[in-house]
Structures are given as structure tokens and as C-alpha cells.
């Protein structure tokens, strides 16, 4: 199956700093999503971005599908940005099913200090 690797595993920042999280994947994908897991465990959708670039406030993401990686940028970080960030991908499944499971990376644990 597809492999998803996220880096770095841990990131510690001071409030106001910028950061870049990376997601590498081993095969062509038809779905790529970035999530923020809050302290209670819920996965919050950040971006659906199988290719291209998107921005939402202080967050932006870029996926270069041909080179099989995606980047999540966080600018002017705040303490509320702390938590685990997951990249998850979906591929065309057996039998031509296009809308299958997500395969998750191991996550990046972000800690933002005031």
C-alpha cells in the first residue's frame, strides 16, 4: 500500500514564528487532506489539496503531485496552533473504486510557546 511520511515528527516554536510541515507519499493520489487534531482528539479539516496551492488565513498548503509531496505553511504561529498535524492521502482502490480509505502519516507534533 501507499506510504506516507511526515516531517519533522516534532516542532517547537515561539509565538510569532513561521513553520513548514512536509508530507511525502509514495504513489499517485486522488485525495490529500491536512488535518489538525485538537486536544480532545477531533480531526479538524484544514485543506483538501491533491494538487496546487491554497491559502486560508495564516495557513497555506502546496501539493506537487508529480513529485509526490505536500507542504503546510503556518505563519505567525499562535499558542492555539499547538497540536498534532496529520497529512492523509487516498488512492484509487481495487476494482476501480475511487473514493476509498485515507492513509495517514504519523503526524507532526507542534508546540507553540508564548
Partner 1 sequence: EAGVTQSPTHLIKTRGQQATLRCSPISGHTSVYWYQQALGLGLQFLLWYDEGEERNRGNFPPRFSGRQFPNYSSELNVNALELEDSALYLCASRLSGIYEQYFGPGTRLTVT
User: Of 97 and 111, which has the nearer Cβ to partner 1?
Assistant: 97
Distances (CA, A) of 43 to 20, 32, 93, 94, 104: 19, 14, 23, 27, 12
The yes or no reply on residue 56 touching partner 1 (CB under 8 A) is: no
* Residues paired with residue 20 on neighbouring β-strands, in sequence order: 73
Smallest distance from partner 1 to CB 14, Å: 28
User: Of 16 and 93, which has the nearer Cβ to partner 1?
Assistant: 93
The yes or no reply on residue 92 touching partner 1 (CB under 8 A) is: no
Residues near partner 1 (CB under 8 A): 30-31, 33, 35, 40-43, 45, 48, 50, 86, 88, 90, 93, 97-107
Amino acid at each position: 500500500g501507499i506510504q506516507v511520511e511526515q516531517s519533522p515528527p516534532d516542532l517547537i516554536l515561539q509565538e510569532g514564528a513561521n513553520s513548514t510541515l512536509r508530507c511525502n507519499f509514495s504513489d499517485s493520489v486522488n485525495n490529500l487532506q491536512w488535518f489538525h487534531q485538537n486536544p480532545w482528539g477531533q480531526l479538524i479539516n484544514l485543506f483538501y489539496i491533491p494538487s496546487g496551492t491554497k491559502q486560508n488565513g495564516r495557513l497555506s498548503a502546496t501539493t506537487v503531485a508529480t513529485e509526490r509531496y505536500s507542504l503546510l505553511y503556518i505563519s505567525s504561529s499562535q499558542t492555539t496552533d499547538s497540536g498534532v498535524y496529520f497529512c492523509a492521502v487516498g488512492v484509487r482502490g481495487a476494482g476501480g473504486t475511487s473514493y476509498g480509505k485515507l492513509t495517514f502519516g504519523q503526524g507532526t507534533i507542534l508546540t507553540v510557546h508564548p
